[in-house]
Chain A
Amino acid sequence: MTKMKKTRYRRFGRSGVSTMIGGIIILTLFLTALTAMVLISQQYDRYQTILDSMSQQDVDRLSENLNFPYPGLSNSNSSAECSSCIQYNMIVSNLSGVGTQVARIYITQPNSAAYPLIVLNPSSTASPYTFSSGSSFINPGEASHQVIFWLPGVNPNITLVSSYPEANTISVVTTRGREFSFQWPFPPAGAAVPTGSTVDMGPFRISIDPNMITYTTTSPGPTSPGPAGCANMDPSPTPCLAGGLYNPFPAKGIVFYVKLYNLGGSNIILEDKSALIAHQYPATAAGNPFPFYVGQPMSQSCYNAYFAASYFDGSWTNIQGNTCPTPSSIGGYNVTYPTPVCSVGNPCYNIPSGPALGQPGQEEYVLFAANQMRGTTPNTLAPSSTYEVSLALYYIYNGYEYSMTLPLLDVSTGT
């Protein structure tokens, strides 16, 4: 028994020392690893914070959205704050949800040999080649904010050319690094056309000029709108009702002509569903639609007479039909998708493309009159009423069917 006790005591004694040493070793190793892990975690956290911060900056940068509404710039020949300057006010709308600070403005003048590039920096005082730092911040959602900048007005006198096509490119750089540009003066929509301005929709260009809409009389030959948009119908009132479309009672049929260009890369064939739709706006009731469906192209002799009488501007059309429309009769137009039949007996509007994509082809006068699809009787408008007229075009382009609607004009009729 005595021997056993001694042995147990000795064994326990050794275990105590080794356990303590082993524990210390393990604890030391664990603490070393833990310290390293804590340090690495802290560094990763710092890295992650930077990552989040820069990601937010990227989001803010991409959120910036400046827009330059018409007219883009306005200028005054002199500046109250800077006597030797020409002051310009740049109109900017901030369409984004983040405030935007303008850092620099670049103006490129392609036709100025002496000053092809102008660089403007922010300044708290008015001086040449600067913009007002006080006006350089655009609040989120702020519309038509004015950023003021100054160009030298004396030695040299730099006045931006304000006529197109000698347009200036104005680039606005923000402090976040985005760049927004616009041309000043604003270019017209599309290339130059004979007169007036234009509206481009899809492959179509609709020319807005005095001869865009013409009207029939009893005898062949339309009447161009007179002063204040007054159209003389037969019998013509004397004087014509200014601003009104005179329509005698009983009402007579009306033939509208709309001048179209093709900007696409291939021909466009109009379908018989195309129409001018006049929506009536009576004083006290829901208005009726008055459709004027597309009619058959005119005969060559009729076109010749209209061009000769200057009812139509331009020169020649390559689309001819067999009839000369009157307020009581037109040729029915029968062209459908997907198999349009265009023949001498059934002429269709096959509007030619231009020399290249985006350039207008030969202008074409399209006739709208029929009171029903493929009809031969021109529709009428009720007297003493007002109408909002939309142009609905259905057409075949590159073998596919398309359509579009354009609010075109307002019409009022006399008594």
Chain B
Amino acid sequence: MGRRARRKLAVSTVVANLLMIGLTLALAAILVAWAGTSFGSLSSGSQLFFAQRGEALQERLVIENVFFSSNTASNHTIMIFVRNVGEEQISLVAIYVNGTSLSPTGSGGWLCTGSLPVTLVVGAVCEFSVQWGSTWVSGSLFDIIVTTAMGNRATITVEGP
């Protein structure tokens, strides 16, 4: 009986134990690798998120002056002065006047550059000269928005002269 019983075992006890340990270690390695990857992505993802949010938070810009310099038949120039009052340099990507995206044109004594995007270092100020599409009526309101690449914006509402 004993000899018959021993013959029924597929593998010996030692081999079975070794197999179990091997399988456990393999599964553990897979589990640890998966956990490491998951926690790593979580960590790096949150790092990126907080870093970007932090940079966005440190952006501050103001439109400190708007001057309507010309309102002739062919020239409707609005000068917009934007200052970086934050702690990070900012990239200005768009200017909207009453919902219309306008590109800066012309030249001026305080003009940074003729085209967007414009990088504005901390404390610097830029003058943007934009052309409004038509002659404005005295007293009409202009909503001016300047946006940054990080999604921040400065707004101002001014009355045309």
Seen from chain A, the residues whose Cβ lies within 8 Å of a Cβ on chain B are 14, 17-18, 21, 24-25, 28-29, 32-33, 35-36, 39-40, 43-44, 46-47, 50-51, 53-54, 57, 61, 103-104, 106, 108, 110, 116-117, 119, 171, 173, 175-177, 179
Residues on the B chain within 8 Å of A176, using CB: 85
A interface footprint on B80-98 (CB within 8 Å = 1, 0 otherwise): 0101011100000000000
Bound Cα distance A358, B34 (Å): 75
* A106 lies within 8 A of B36 (CB): no
Nearest CB in chain B to that of A36: its residue: B39
Asked, given contacts A21-B25, A29-B35, A33-B35, whether A116 binds B110 with beta carbons under 8 Å apart, the answer is no
Let me know if B31 and A39 touch, CB within 8 A: no
| Tally of contacts, chain A with chain B, CB under 8 A | 97
CA of A54 to CA of B57, assembled, Å: 7
**Which chain B residues border A106 with CB–CB below 8 Å?**
64-65, 67, 81
Q: Are B39 and A32 in contact (CB under 8 A)?
A: yes
**A103 partner residues in chain B, CB cutoff 8 A:** 83, 123, 125
What are 18 pairs between A and B in contact, CB < 8 Å? A17-B21, A21-B25, A24-B28, A29-B32, A36-B42, A39-B47, A40-B47, A47-B50, A47-B54, A54-B60, A104-B83, A106-B67, A117-B69, A119-B109, A173-B64, A176-B85, A177-B61, A177-B64
Contact-size category for B: 35 or more
Known: A29-B35, A177-B64, A179-B65. A21 touches B21 (CB 8 A): yes
B85 touches A177 (CB 8 A): yes
Using A29-B35, A47-B50, A110-B161 as known contacts, say yes or no to A179 and B57 having CB atoms under 8 A apart. Answer: no
Contact with A along B120-161 (1 / 0, CB 8 A): 000101000000000000000000000000000000000001
Assess whether B101 is interfacial by the CB under 8 Å rule: no
| Those of B44-63 within 8 Å (CB) of chain A | 46-47, 50-51, 53-54, 57-58, 60-62
How many angstroms between the C-alpha atoms of A51 and B46 in the bound complex?
16
**Measured between alpha carbons, how far is A43 from B31 in the docked complex, in Å?**
26
Contacting residues, chain A, for B39 (C-beta < 8 A): 32-33, 35-36
CB pair A175–B46 under 8 Å, yes or no, is no
* Given A29-B32, A40-B42, A40-B43, 20 other A-B residues pairs in contact with their CB atoms under 8 A: A14-B17, A18-B24, A21-B21, A25-B31, A29-B31, A32-B35, A36-B42, A40-B47, A43-B51, A50-B57, A51-B54, A57-B60, A61-B85, A103-B123, A104-B83, A106-B67, A175-B85, A177-B61, A177-B83, A179-B64
* B40 beta carbon closer than 8 Å to chain A: yes
How close is B161's CB to chain A, nearest CB, in angstroms?
7
For residue A26, which residue of chain B has the nearest CB? B28
Cα separation A21 to B27 with both chains bound (whole Å): 11
Residue contact B83 to A173, C-beta cutoff 8 Å: yes
Q: Which of A25, A33, A106, A175 has the most CB of B within 10 A?
A: A25
Contact A51 B57 (CB under 8 A): yes
Q: What is the distance, in angstroms, from B92's C-beta to the closest C-beta of chain A?
A: 15
A28 cross-chain contacts in B, Cβ below 8 A: 28, 32, 35
- For B31, B35, B61, B161, the residue with the greatest tally of chain A CB atoms inside 10 Å of its CB is B35
A175 touches B62 (CB 8 A): no
Tell me if A108 and B67 are in contact (CB < 8 A): yes
Contact (Cβ within 8 A) B53 A119: no
- Cβ distance A285 to chain B, nearest Cβ, rounded Å: 58
| Chain B residues with CB below 8 A from A104, complex form | 64, 83, 125
Q: Given the complex of chains A and B, what is the CA–CA distance between A103 and B83 in angstroms?
A: 10
Contact of B46 among A17, A25, A40, A171 (CB under 8 A): A40
Instruction: Give the top 10 A-B pairs by smallest Cβ distance, nearest first.
Output: A36-B39, A177-B85, A177-B62, A47-B50, A25-B28, A43-B50, A50-B54, A173-B64, A36-B43, A39-B43
Q: Collect the chain B residues with CB atoms within 8 Å of residue A33's CB.
A: 35, 39
Residues of A within 8 A of B81 (CB): 106
Closest to A57 in B: B60
Specify which chain B residues have a CB less than 8 angstroms from the CB of A24 in the assembled complex: 28
Contact A44 B123 (CB under 8 A): no
Q: Which of B1-49 contact A (CB under 8 A)?
A: 17, 21, 24-25, 28, 31-32, 35-36, 39-40, 42-43, 46-47
Q: Assess whether B24 is in contact with A43, with CB atoms less than 8 Å apart.
A: no
Return the chain B residue nearest A21 by Cβ: B24
A46 x B85 contact (CB < 8 A): no
Cα A57 to Cα B43 in complex, Å, equals 29
Chain B residues, Cβ within 8 Å of A54: 57-58, 60, 86-87
In the complex, the chain B residue whose C-beta lies closest to that of A58 is B60
CB pair B60–A177 under 8 Å, yes or no, is yes
Cα of A47 to Cα of B49 in the assembled complex, Å: 10
Contacts of B24 in A (CB 8 A): 18, 21
Q: Which of A36, A44, A173, A175 contacts B65 (CB 8 A)?
A: A173
User: Is the beta-carbon distance between B123 and A175 smaller than 8 angstroms?
Assistant: yes
Bound-state Cα–Cα, A165 to B67, Å? 20
A336 to chain B, nearest CB (A): 43
Decide if B67 touches A117 in the complex (CB within 8 Å). yes
Q: How far is the CA of A106 from the CA of B83 in the complex (A)?
A: 14
Q: Residues of B contacting A117 with CB < 8 Å?
A: 67, 69, 79
Give the shortest distance, in Å, between A406 (CB) and chain B (any CB): 33
With contacts A47-B54, A175-B85 taken as known, whether A36 is within 8 angstroms of B60 at the C-beta atoms is: no
